[in-house]
Amino acid sequence: MAIGSAVDLVQATAPWATLLSIIALGIRSIANGSWVPRRTLDELIRQWEARLKDNNEQAMARLTESNAREQDWREAFKTSDAARDVADKQLAELMIYARNADRILQNLPAGKETQ
């Protein structure tokens, strides 16, 4: 029974082993340049690497541009914030002057009406 089951196992796995062998042989022959000339494969690899390099350069350019825009926005915010602080200080001073002017005018003696 042990011999019969081993033979059955070999017979059951033979088609799969054959298929995997054919696939492995196909991949190996493509890699060695048997089906596709090696220079064509090298050209495809070179084009792929060039495309990756271009994509990386474009991504870096976009990132640099984005960082520059962000820096511009930060500087604009700081400038605007500083201008807002100056305006707030000036408004506070004007309010103090307005209160003082109001107190001075209220403390003046009332004038006589002339007809």
* Alpha-carbon distance values, 115 to 108, 110, 111, 112 (Å): 21, 16, 13, 10
Q: Which residue has the higher pLDDT, 17 or 113?
A: 17
Q: Is residue 24, in this structure, part of any structural domain at all?
A: yes
Residue 83 lies in a domain: no
Within-domain flag for 53: no
| Residue 15 falls inside a structural domain | yes
Query: Tokens 């500087």, residue?
Result: 75
Q: Hey, what are 96's tokens?
A: 């103090």
Does the residue 55 lie in any domain?
Answer: no
Residue 103: per-residue pLDDT: 93
Q: Tell me, what's the pLDDT at 23?
A: 92
Q: pLDDT, tens digit, for every residue of 11-61?
A: 778 888 888 999 999 888 877 777 777 788 789 889 999 999 999 999 999
Q: What is the extent of the structural domain holding 3?
A: 1-35
Per-residue pLDDT of 74-96, as tens digits, reads: 999 999 999 999 999 999 999 99
Residue at token pair 């048997």: 34
Residue bearing tokens 């196992």: 9
* 65 domain-assigned: no
Is 112 a member of any domain? Answer: no
SS3 at position 37: coil
Residue 8 included in any domain: yes
Task: Count structural domains, the chain.
Answer: 1
